Each structure stands twice: as C-alpha cells, then as structure tokens.
Amino acid sequence: MNIVILSRNANLYSTSRLVDEGEKRGHDIEVIDPLKCDIIIEKEKPTIYYNDRYLDYVDAIIPRIGASVTFYGCAVVRQFEMMNVFTTVASDSILRSRDKLRSLQRLSKVGIGMPKTVFTNYSRDVEEVINHVGGVPVIIKLLEGTQGLGVVLAESKNAAESVLEAFNGLQARVIVQEYIKEAKGADIRALIVDGHVVGAMKRQGKEGEFRSNLHRGGTANIIKLSEAELKVAMKAARALKLPVCGVDMLQSERGPLLLEVNSTPGLEGIEIATKKNIAKSIITYVERNRK
C-alpha cells in the first residue's frame, strides 16, 4: 500500500515512528509537507501536484497537521478525500477539533462533563465572567492555543482582569474556565484508535506549573482508566468523528471532566509511558479501513 504521512518534519518522533511501523509491515511510506502541495481543482478530476509529480497513486494518508497550518493542511486533506483516498482523520473533523469553542459546545450537547466554561465577546465585565465559572482562580485560554501555549492561570480578580484586557487589546478570542483544584496540576490522556482506547497516561506538571504538558517539564506514567473515564474518552471521539485522537481529561470530585480532544496527538509521551506500540495500531487501522 502507498501511504502518505502529511507532516512538515520527517524527523519528528511521531512521524518517524509511523514510517518505521509502516515499512515493517511492507508498505511504501512517504512523508510529504502539505504546504508544498499544489491543489488542482478540475471537473471530475481533483489532483494534487508535489515535487514535479501528481499524487495519483496514494492509497491512504495519515495527517499530522500542525495547528499553525490548519487551513492549508486541511485543504490538502480535503483534496485527497475528493480523490477517494482513505484518511485516518477527516478534514472536517480536524477543523472541528481545532476550534475549542465549537468542540466544547458539541461535546456539552452530548452530555460530556467538563469544567464550567465562559466565552464572551470582549466583555469588560470581568467580575461577571469570573462569577459564571465559580470565582477565582480561573483558567484563561486562547481559542487557537496548543501545547499549553496561550493558557494562563489567574489566581485573583485583578490578575484575571489584566490578562483578559491584554488579550482583548490583541483582539484574541479566549475562553474562561473553572480551575479544578483537586486535579493538582495533573491530567489524563487517552489515545483513541478506531474508536477504542489503545493507551492511557497520567501527566503531572512540574512543581509550580499548572500545565501538565510534557515538553514543559511534566512527567507521564501509565494509568488504568476507570469505567467513567473510558466512556468519556470514547464518547468524545465519536462526537467529534475522530477515529484517531487524544482525549485529555481531568480527575475531579464530580468525575472525569473533559479538557480537549487533539486530532493529531503526539506519540512519544504515550508510547514511552505505556510501552505500547501506538504507531503500529494506527498503521493496522489504515490496513483495515483502506477503501
């Protein structure tokens, strides 16, 4: 099978692991930078041109689209879809998950628990916004932020007001969320492949850091999910139509609370923590579902 991994860097852990596992299973694997693809739109003949050739031989793609190139990356994924090429994650699903507000609205509709969240149109009434989520401290997040960037913990009303005013001044859209104190700077990531949890880890932020992202010095350990956590993870993946994704949750006194769903989750942290071959699971998913 000819499998293309859409990634801007072939040396990234996740990309190289997918290449290794695909080649071990006898597939021809190619890493292609989506930003270097030309999309050719023609009646009944959608095509993609890359490095002096047409990509009309591709059987399946695995998108590894970074947040900074979401628009064009998804346009490339969509073009492959028009060419009847199987993709592990649909373009619309990537777009849906990247919009934090849209995804949270959709997830709340299907009954998934999450921290109280407020979105407001550059409101000057900071006190009212804070009261909606139960008072300080609060978490303030950029709608387009990833990997912990654009996420701020405001421990007082003055701090929250300053942060919101700064974001408002930049015309940056933000959401304000309830701070879950009992989580103690830790969260859970469940890795979903083909609608099933294939690995889970608990990430703990370093001392003094409320964000648990591993690249910020956090640590990760394998964890056995509770029945409630399993249900939340799989329900969230189904709701956003993401057969391959990472579901991030907090452990709280009122049960698991969903933080976000990542449509292109990194494999390094979870493979090391769980000692499971997640890359192989993704390749075998492609094999089972290729059209």
Instruction: State the average pLDDT for the chain.
Output: 90
Q: What is the pLDDT of residue 226?
A: 96
Contact 273, 201 (CB under 8 A): yes
Q: What is the pLDDT of residue 100?
A: 85
Q: What is the CATH number of domain 182-284?
A: 3.30.470.20
Does 146 have pLDDT greater than 70? no
pTM exceeds cut of 0.85: yes
Does 143 have pLDDT greater than 80? no
Q: Confidence class of residue 170 from pLDDT cuts 50, 70 and 90? A: confident
The SS3 of residue 258 is strand
Report pLDDT digits (tens) over 63-107: 999 988 999 999 999 999 999 999 999 999 999 998 888 899 999
Contacts 24+ apart (CB under 8 A), 212-218: 212/185, 212/186, 212/187, 213/147, 213/148, 214/268, 214/269, 215/147, 215/148, 216/148
Q: What is the pLDDT of residue 209?
A: 56
The residues that bridge with 30 in the sheet, in sequence order, are: 4
Q: Confidence class of residue 291 from pLDDT cuts 50, 70 and 90? A: low
Q: Confidence class of residue 283 from pLDDT cuts 50, 70 and 90? A: very high
Q: What is the pLDDT of residue 125?
A: 74
Q: How far is CA 56 from CA 40, 59, 70, 79, 252, in A?
A: 12, 9, 23, 11, 49
Q: What is the pLDDT of residue 217?
A: 53
Q: Confidence class of residue 25 from pLDDT cuts 50, 70 and 90? A: very high
User: From CA 10, how far away is CA 164, in angstroms rounded?
Assistant: 38
Q: What is the pLDDT of residue 19?
A: 98
For the residues 172-194, what does the mean pLDDT come to? 90
Q: What is the pLDDT of residue 110?
A: 95
Q: Confidence class of residue 164 from pLDDT cuts 50, 70 and 90? A: confident
* 258 closest CA partner among 115, 147, 118, 142: 115
Q: What is the pLDDT of residue 95?
A: 93
CATH superfamily of 117-179: ATP-grasp fold, A domain (3.30.1490.20)
Boundaries of CATH 3.30.1490.20 in the chain?
117-179
Report pLDDT digits (tens) over 204-222: 876 655 555 555 557 889 9
For the residues 265-272, what does the mean pLDDT come to? 94
Q: What is the pLDDT of residue 80?
A: 97
Boundaries of CATH 3.30.470.20 in the chain?
182-284
Q: What is the pLDDT of residue 34?
A: 98
User: From CA 50, how far away is CA 53, in angstroms rounded?
Assistant: 5
Q: What is the CATH number of domain 2-88?
A: 3.40.50.20
Q: What is the pLDDT of residue 141?
A: 85
Contact 262, 98 (CB under 8 A): no
Boundaries of CATH 3.40.50.20 in the chain?
2-88
Q: What is the pLDDT of residue 269?
A: 92
Does 144 have pLDDT greater than 90? no
Q: Confidence class of residue 145 from pLDDT cuts 50, 70 and 90? A: low
More confident residue, 209 or 223: 223
